[in-house]
Amino acid sequence: MGSWHILGAGSLGSLWATRLAQAGLPVQLILRNRSRLEAYRQAGGLTLIEPHQQQLFPIPAQTPEERAPIQRLLVACKAYDAAPAVAQVAHRLLPGAEVLLLQNGLGSQDEVAASLPQARCIFASSTEGAFLQADFQVVYAGRGHTWLGDAAGGPAPAWLEQLSQAQIAHDWSLNILSRLWRKLAINCAINPLTVLHDCRNGGLNDHADEVASLCEELQRLLLHCKQPEAAHNLQDEVQRVIRATANNFSSMYQDVRQGRRTEVAYLLGYACRQADALHVPVPQLQQVHERILTLLQSRGLPSH
């Protein structure tokens, strides 16, 4: 069935690459440039770190300039890097190639799909947790689930069987956009407020009114976007997530704290742009968005 090409050897890309390799499936990593490739070769491969074991996988790697054609590409970059990264390898995609997009939020998937009319783009929404302990060393921090689907319809791909072999817990979703919208709404109700109030997710219990008014606006927006399933009981779900992750720092909080670029443009930014386009009033969301952009600017971080 051909090799898995994985674009981006960060947290999630390394997690997928090592599990596919562990199952004996052919994998090729695509790294940014020759100096990353050199650093990777020095490391001897990717290391997967789990609670009671760690294992090194000497997975072959290449740069985007390599010429070998690509049938199946897993894009594991951040949302803001996805389209430019795909552009570097677009000429290598075979007719009918499949491109899996692991990005959180919305907007980046459409950017990629618009640039690849010849490919089948499959969107994913994942609750897996992974982080890099060092370059090319990935810690599998929390087992989760990944939903995959084709917003344009069509059958489930035969290679889903390979994900089962690799023990990547997954389901084929007939409404992947609804899943992505639901996750986006939850992230929009929690993540920016944790940054603005400098708190763990559980700290938002002290700001329940603010969370509730964001949920109300997000629910209205989802209904206008024709996503009733994603809108259903949003506030209860947000409260459940806050309780379940009370002790955690949100991903946006961690990005800001570590001086990393955030995916805000594909979360709150996307929600505000959709609200604008559909003339849905979302004053609290817009105010939180502006406050976040100001905070990012004050820290010298990109606001897009």
Q: Contact between 8 and ligand NAD (CB under 6 A)? A: yes
By CB under 6 A, residue 12 contacts ligand NAD: yes
In single-letter form, the type of residue at position 201 comes to: N
Interactions with ligand NAD, residue window 21-60 (CB under 6 A): 30-32
Report in angstroms how near the CB of residue 135 gets to ligand KPL at its nearest.
Answer: 23
The single residue among 48, 76, 230, 242 that binds ligand NAD, judged by CB under 6 A, is 76
Q: Binding-site residue total for ligand NAD (CB under 6 A)? A: 26
What's the order of all strands across the beta sheet hosting 4-7? 61-62, 27-30, 4-7, 70-75, 93-101, 120-126, 146-149, 170-172
Catalytic residue among 111, 183, 241, 288: 183
From ligand NAD, ligand KPL, none, which one binds at residue 241 (CB under 5 to 8 Å depending on kind)? ligand KPL
Among 14, 103, 108, 187, contact with ligand KPL (rule: CB under 6 A): 187
**Annotation marks residue 183 as catalytic:** yes
Packing angle between helix 208-224 and helix 283-298, nearest 10 degrees?
110
Residues 81-140 that bind ligand NAD (CB under 6 A): 81, 85, 88, 102-104, 126, 128-130, 132
* Residue 125 sits in the site that holds ligand KPL (CB under 6 A): no
**Least distance (Å) from ligand NAD to the CB of residue 50?**
14
CB of 222 to ligand KPL, least distance (A): 16
**Which contacts qualify for 101-104: CB closer than 8 Å, 24 or more apart?**
101/75, 102/12, 102/13, 102/16, 102/74, 102/75, 102/76, 102/126, 103/75, 103/77, 103/78, 103/79, 103/263, 103/266, 104/79, 104/183, 104/184, 104/187, 104/251, 104/263, 104/266, 104/267
Per CB under 6 A, does 108 bind ligand KPL? no
Q: Which is nearer to ligand KPL, 111 or 128 (CB)?
A: 128
Strands of 46-50's sheet in order across: 53-57, 46-50, 137-142, 129-134
Q: Which residue in the set 251, 271, 272, 296 belongs to the binding site for ligand KPL (CB under 6 A)?
A: 251
CB nearer to ligand NAD: give 83 or 211: 83
- Rounded to the nearest 10 degrees, what angle do helices 208-224 and 176-196 cross at? 150
The residue from 250, 264, 288, 296 that contacts ligand KPL (CB under 6 A) is 250
- Amino acid at site 301: L
Site for ligand KPL in 214-243 (CB under 6 A): 241
Instruction: Tell me which residues in 153-212 interact with ligand NAD (CB under 6 A).
Output: none
Among all residues, which ones are annotated catalytic? 183
Under the rule (CB under 6 A), what is the footprint of ligand KPL? Answer: 186-187, 190-191, 201, 241, 245, 248, 250-251
Residues contributing to the site for ligand NAD (CB under 6 A): 7-13, 30-32, 76-79, 81, 85, 88, 102-104, 126, 128-130, 132, 263
